[in-house]
Structure 1
Amino acid sequence: MSTGATVWRALAGSERGLRRMLQYWAATALLYLASIGMVEWQVLNGFSELEGMRRLELFGIGGLIVFYFMVRFSAVLRLTPEVLTVTQALYAIGCGMWAYSIGGPVRSGIMPMTVMVVAFCMFALRPRQTLLLTAAALTGMGSTMWWLQAHDPLRFPPAVEAITFGYLAAALLSTALLTGEMSKLRAKLKRRKKELERALETIRLLATRDELTSLANRRHMNEVLAEEERRHPHGAGTCVALLDIDFFKQVNDRHGHAAGDAVLRSFAATTRGALRSHDVLARWGGEEFLLLLPDTCPSDARLVLERMAERVHAMRVPGLEADRRISFSAGLAERRHGEAFADAINRADKALYRAKEAGRDRIEMA
């Protein structure tokens, strides 16, 4: 890692949420620096006193430094984004009160900055919190105006201060209401986004999973087989097996389709537990299943199928007679050199047919 990257990591951290909060702090810092530039212009043009403005500048810069460390180490200090936002907003309002009192004839320019403070907080605060912050801003600025007109009515005429406060109150309350509505809209959009993400996840699941058995469906299995062909174009060392539940039609005819569905679900859950981590079992259609056994020789593949058969024999399905044993027939084929999976599956299908002809509940090799 370069020196620059190390320094940046130390300053901004590595967590995404922390970096986002520091970006907000950086935006606030730019606003403070722009305000300091305006203050310098006021001093140069004789609108404000140099000493008072210098103190205000130092106060603002010192606050920026303190807030950087508060944000950077918010996890250690256990400061939530809401607490950080409110603290910085109240600090900015305090700076505005100070700037208004020493701003001279251009003091009304502070009003938009106060409104901007409230608007900026809409991204982190709830509507009620924004209203409380607005009330704090009005109380602070109103108290400052009242004190100034009471103690220095020549420089701060009461009528002018009252009108200025009226405009400020109208702007702040309107901004608070608008930001409240925008916050509600953002919350609504966020909820809809989450609902859409859940819906998309469901669609993805339905596109790859069989709804009844929760196994891979035929469409997804074809994608897996295509990927396996790309991974091993020569085809050596891979087996496929077609499995068919024995006498499944009798279960449906005698006990109904609900019992048949229960057999399929139990069969899927039981056989899945007998597979290795890299094996893939899919519902191929009806009561037929396709098993992919990558990097497996026929003897090992047969052991997997025999283990599956043992577990299926011991399986008990609600709704069926206690002595009713479920079994399956299977046709196993090893993929030949350069052979397409479709051809290997076709050979496994013929082996499955031979297993059924030979009495079922058996495994035939293609």
Structure 2
Amino acid sequence: MARESEPVQQEAARQLSVRDRMSASTSFLAYGLQALVLYGHVADRVLWGWLLLVVASEAANGMLAVRLGRHTGDPVQRRRAVRWLAVALFCSGSSWGLTSLMPGLHGQYQLYMFNVLFLVVVGVISVHNLCLSWPALIAFNVGLMWPLLVAGAVYTMFLPLALVVTVAGEWTMVQIYGRTTRQLFLRSMRAHLATEAMAAQLRQKNEDLTQALAVIAEMADLDPLTQCLNRRALMRHLQEPVRHQRFGACFGIVLLDIDHFKQINDSRGHGVGDQVLVAVADCLRNHLRTQDCLARWGGEEFICLLADADGATVQAMAERLRRALAATAILPPPAELRVTASFGLALCRPGYPLDAVIDQADQAMYRAKHGGRNRVEA
């Protein structure tokens, strides 16, 4: 596991912790069955002592597995937890294997060999639970098998060769099965983590793309100089049913044109002309209500849509905008510059064609121009 990438090591440690906790919490089924088989064939105090030893070792094993699960993200703590878990697993395996040294059991050949076979099965099952940590797997199976070797040496009259062969066979099976299973699990983890990383990258790219599209859509709707809606965006707002949802059944249209704007461009330059457009847009925006809408209609013309407004409201708002604009200093002294605008008003009611209403506002604006400028016509 040390040669694997850090994410793979973390996932392997997490799964080792989960599997070992589950093994420790369910192992009572196995050693309970083993105790039931041995009951009556060995002394009661020996059997109960062995049961207490197994329970204690499995409890310690489970607690250390929990500790490992808490430190999977810290490489130093993780390695230390795996080492302690390997020690606990050696003790746990030894407690299981000690049944082969129980007094009186070696004289009963069939029962003894059943017990040996039981231990081999436990060792093989441990491969699935512990293969993600080679030290843990080896520690448990060494603990499981050393009592068999001792039994083969102590009980010389009782098939020592069979016990040695059993230990060698189990050890070979653990080596082959354990390495193969470990590689399969690690390969699966790498593929899973790679898939998750690709999915995370894809999600991030989708979010970036969504944000970029939102920015593009906003840029497409805004006039780059004044940051007002452009004409195309405004016309989209005026389509049914968006219009009634946004502005109500009856709303006002205020169309205005900056007075003498061409002279400002010619005498002071287009840079000053741009400053005038920005200042006018800011002034209008600051004096409109939050539910109203401002757009640059074209050139030096702006249009305001006043939501849920009657004729008196539209007239009063237009006068307010006219006075505010006339009082705004575009350039500070000594090159002080102030501008005015001519306003044309119209009221859009249900059933009235929108183009006709806008045309009415446009005609009213030209009447204001011809009437002396800096005035409001409806």
Give the match for residue 106 of structure 2.
Answer: none
CA contact (8 A) 1:210 1:216 kept: yes
2:218 is aligned, of 202, 205, 213, to 205
The 10-residue stretch of structure 1 (348-357 or 174-183) with the greater mean CA deviation from structure 2: 174-183
Q: Which amino acid aligns with 2:375?
A: R
Cα deviation code 1:54-91 (max 9, x no counterpart)? 979x98xx99xx9xxxxxxxxxxxx99979xx99xx99
Q: Which amino acid aligns with 1:189?
A: L
Q: Which secondary structure does the structure 2 equivalent of 1:189 belong to?
A: helix
Give the match for residue 113 of structure 2.
Answer: none
The alpha-carbon distance between structure 1 residues 318 and 324, as it changes in their structure 2 partners (threshold 3 A), is closer
Q: 1:260 and 2:262 equivalent? A: no
Q: 1:227 and 2:223 equivalent? A: no
CA contact (8 A) 1:316 1:322 kept: no
Q: Which amino acid aligns with 1:148?
A: L
Q: 1:189 and 2:185 equivalent? A: no
Aligned length: 296
TM-score, normalising length: structure 1: 0.61
Counting only pairs closer than 5 Å after superposition, residues 114-129 of structure 1 correspond to structure 2 as: none
1:269 is aligned, of 282, 291, 302, to 282
Q: Could you tell me which runs of 5 or more consecutive residues in structure 1 were left unpaired when the two chains were aligned.
A: 1-30, 67-78, 116-133
Cα deviation code 1:216-258 (max 9, x no counterpart)? 222332232233655599954x211111222223333344444
1:176 shift after superposition: 4.5
CA contact (8 A) 2:330 2:336 kept: no
Q: Which secondary structure does the structure 2 equivalent of 1:289 belong to?
A: strand
Paired-residue identity, %: 27
1:272 shift after superposition: 0.8
CA contact (8 A) 2:253 2:304 kept: yes
CA contact (8 A) 1:142 1:165 kept: no
2:174 is aligned, of 141, 147, 161, to 161
Q: Which secondary structure does the structure 2 equivalent of 1:295 belong to?
A: coil
Q: 1:323 and 2:319 equivalent? A: no
CA contact (8 A) 1:240 1:292 kept: yes
1:280 shift after superposition: 1.1
Measured in 2, the distance between the counterparts of 1:206 and 1:255 equals 29
The alpha-carbon distance between structure 1 residues 328 and 41, as it changes in their structure 2 partners (threshold 3 A), is same
Cα deviation code 1:285-325 (max 9, x no counterpart)? 22222111122122222222222233323434469973211
Q: Could you tell me which runs of 5 or more consecutive residues in structure 2 were left unpaired when the two chains were aligned.
A: 1-18, 39-50, 97-117, 150-163
Measured in 2, the distance between the counterparts of 1:81 and 1:274 equals 59
Measured in 1, the distance between the counterparts of 2:283 and 2:148 equals 88
**Which structure is larger by alpha-carbon Rg, 1 or 2?**
2
CA contact (8 A) 1:234 1:339 kept: no
Q: Which secondary structure does the structure 2 equivalent of 1:273 belong to?
A: helix
TM-score, normalising length: structure 2: 0.59
Cα deviation code 1:1-35 (max 9, x no counterpart)? xxxxxxxxxxxxxxxxxxxxxxxxxxxxxx99x99
The alpha-carbon distance between structure 1 residues 230 and 317, as it changes in their structure 2 partners (threshold 3 A), is closer
Q: 1:174 and 2:170 equivalent? A: no
CA contact (8 A) 1:235 1:337 kept: yes
CA contact (8 A) 1:244 1:328 kept: yes
Q: Which amino acid aligns with 1:284?
A: W
Measured in 2, the distance between the counterparts of 1:266 and 1:233 equals 26
Give the match for residue 143 of structure 1.
Answer: 139
Measured in 2, the distance between the counterparts of 1:316 and 1:112 equals 81
Give the match for residue 347 of structure 1.
Answer: 360
